[in-house]
């Protein structure tokens, strides 16, 4: 169970994890149609309750976070778009609550998130860039690539409590790299970055 210090309330119960495990074993439309009530009570309602609790917190961090409560913007979709996926099962066995920031000067602002899978609950920050993004150097403080300072400060400050990993695009395939992107060549190749904590 995940407890929130904000109101000391329990949002997720064992039924949430149980639903995703059952869905993984029965990933078919017929099963999902027969278990819509469980999906609503174990997944949809808890995630909406979590949005209501965390939205004021997110807005307190920055007023540009999207807290509209829309699927896609704040809630990941349970249905998988199999047209563009190697995994052809119709449903995802996880769910995310997201607070995306507004894009600024053409850059994706990233998002805060909470994710629930059959194995783990995570919370953190993530940012993904498109295929056409060539370099993230404009996002960094001046001179950061030549002599990293800000990135190393974040690693020292957060590294013992938060997991960091990043992705590059190798032959149009996402390639995962563990650790903090510190070196200049890593930032030149970086297409996504996740800093998270496992609950």
Average pLDDT over residues 26-34: 98
Please choose, from the candidates 180, 186, 183, the residue with its C-alpha nearest in 3D space to the C-alpha of residue 158.
Answer: 180
Confidence of residue 2 (pLDDT cuts 50, 70, 90): very low
Question: Which pTM was predicted?
Answer: 0.84
Distances (CA, A) of 152 to 62, 109, 140, 157, 158: 24, 21, 12, 8, 10
Distance of CA 27 to the CA centre of its chain: 22
Strand order in the sheet with 163-170: 95-100, 111-116, 121-128, 190-198, 163-170, 173-178
Could you tell me the residue ranges of all domains in the chain? 1-126, 129-199
Average pLDDT over residues 111-122: 96
What secondary structure letter does DSSP report for 41? I
Highest mean pLDDT among 75-89, 95-109, 155-169, 177-191: 155-169
Average pLDDT over residues 97-123: 88
Whether the Cβ atoms of residue 114 and residue 76 lie closer than 8 Å to each other: no
Identify the pLDDT of residue 77.
95
Bridge pairing between strands 95-100 and 9-12: unpaired
Whether the Cβ atoms of residue 56 and residue 64 lie closer than 8 Å to each other: no
Average pLDDT over residues 176-187: 91
Measured CA to CA, the distance from residue 101 to residue 74 in angstroms comes to 11
* Alpha-carbon torsion angle 19, 21, 14, 117, nearest 10: -100
- Tokens encoding 22: 């059952």
């Amino acid at each position: 169970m995940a407890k929130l210090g904000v109101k000391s309330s329990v949002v997720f119960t064992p039924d949430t994890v149980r639903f995703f495990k059952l869905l993984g074993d029965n990933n078919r439309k017929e099963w999902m149609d027969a278990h819509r009530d469980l999906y609503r009570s174990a997944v949809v309602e808890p995630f909406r309750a979590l949005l209501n609790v965390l939205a004021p917190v997110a807005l307190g961090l920055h007023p540009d976070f999207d807290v509209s409560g829309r699927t896609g913007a704040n809630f990941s979709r349970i249905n998988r778009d199999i047209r563009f996926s190697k995994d052809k099962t119709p449903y995802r066995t996880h769910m995310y609550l997201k607070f995306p920031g507004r894009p600024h000067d053409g850059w994706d602002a990233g998002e805060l998130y909470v994710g629930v899978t059959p194995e783990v609950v995570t919370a953190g920050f993530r940012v993904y860039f498109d295929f056409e993004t060539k370099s993230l150097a404009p996002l960094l403080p001046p001179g950061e690539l030549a002599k990293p300072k800000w990135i190393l400060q974040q690693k020292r400050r957060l590294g013992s409590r938060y997991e960091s990993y990043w992705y590059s695009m190798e032959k149009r395939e996402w390639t995962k790299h563990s650790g903090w992107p510190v070196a200049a060549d890593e930032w030149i190749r970086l297409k996504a970055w996740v800093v998270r904590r496992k609950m």
